């Protein structure tokens, strides 16, 4: 899930970004209302987590501008304002859900994932279309990855890693997110095990026109080989 987090409090911003990233979300952060609109259009997130109290444009104004610009992304309002009136204003402005502070992280995650499942269906065709990069082709419907017309021989973990990276070509995917995708629920696996899978996959990508890059402190990304 690509999440745009719009929150101006630095400590809350950092805590939410870390917590939601650990839960497998790709989090883009913004702390200003006016900038949030620009990032919203540029990132095309799956869900927006929007605080009402922001510098510049407040959350309601951001939401109203976004809806007038035909940005249909599901929005969860996150605010310290807990009155019924504020809730109604937010929903009337185009919010899809509302969660007052303080909140439980499990509930926040559940609400975000529910909105993600209900996101507009206009992306369905593009989401199921093949992903092409260099000589690689990822057939989303079957999950198979080809080099030209031949299936690329991968272990199940290598395949999950490559599919996750091909969903975000040219963008860094956090190591935590990749670990959770490749080793779901495997608490006894060492965190560094993801590096072994990356190493083996990198060798199998030789000659495909695609390289697997390590970005220290950020994660990994796929890019076209020079």
Return the CATH fold of 129-224: Arc Repressor Mutant, subunit A (1.10.10)
Task: Report whether the peptide linkage leading into residue 22 is cis, meaning its omega lies within 30 degrees of zero.
Answer: no
Which regions of the chain are under pLDDT 70?
81-87, 119-130
Q: Residue 87 has what pLDDT?
A: 67
The interaxial angle of helices 33-43 and 59-68, nearest 10 deg, is: 40
| Strand locations in the chain (E) | 2-6, 26-30, 47-51, 75-79, 97-100, 131-133, 136-138, 145-147, 150-151, 210-215, 219-224
Contacts of 130 (CB under 8 A, 6+ apart): 137, 138, 139, 140
Q: Residue 169 has what pLDDT?
A: 73
pLDDT per residue as tens digits for the range 163-205: 888 887 777 888 888 888 888 777 788 888 999 999 999 999 9
Percent of the chain with pLDDT over 70: 91
CATH superfamily ID and name for 2-123? Response regulator (3.40.50.2300)
What's the token pair of residue 73? 């992304």
Q: Residue 123 has what pLDDT?
A: 45
What residue spans define the domains of the chain?
2-123, 129-224
> Mean pLDDT across the chain, nearest whole number?
84
Cα 70 to Cα 14: distance, rounded to the nearest angstrom: 29
Cα 226 to Cα 224: distance, rounded to the nearest angstrom: 6
Reduce the DSSP state of residue 53 to 3 states and report it.
coil
Q: What share of the chain is helix, strand, coil (3-state, %, to 5)?
A: 40, 20, 35
């Amino acid at each position: 899930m690509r999440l745009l987090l719009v929150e101006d409090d630095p400590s809350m911003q950092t805590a939410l970004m870390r917590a939601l990233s650990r839960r497998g979300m790709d989090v883009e952060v913004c702390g200003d209302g006016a900038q949030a609109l620009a990032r919203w259009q540029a990132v095309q997130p799956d869900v927006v987590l929007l605080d009402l109290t922001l510098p510049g444009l407040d959350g309601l104004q951001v939401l109203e501008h976004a809806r007038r610009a035909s940005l249909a992304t599901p929005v969860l309002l996150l605010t310290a304002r807990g009155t019924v009136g504020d809730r109604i204003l937010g929903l009337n402005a185009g919010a899809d859900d509302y969660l007052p502070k303080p909140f439980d992280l499990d509930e926040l995650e559940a609400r975000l994932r529910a909105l993600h499942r209900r996101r507009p269906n206009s992306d369905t065709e593009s989401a199921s279309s093949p992903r092409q990069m260099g000589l690689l082709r990822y057939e989303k419907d079957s999950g198979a990855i080809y080099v030209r017309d031949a299936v690329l021989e991968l272990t199940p973990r290598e395949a999950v890693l490559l599919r996750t990276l091909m969903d975000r070509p040219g963008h860094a995917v956090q190591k935590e997110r990749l670990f959770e995708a490749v080793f779901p629920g495997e608490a006894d696996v060492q965190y560094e095990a993801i590096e072994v899978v990356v190493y083996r996959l990198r060798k199998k990508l030789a000659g495909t026109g695609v390289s697997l890059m390590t970005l220290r402190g950020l994660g990994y990304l796929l890019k076209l080989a020079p």
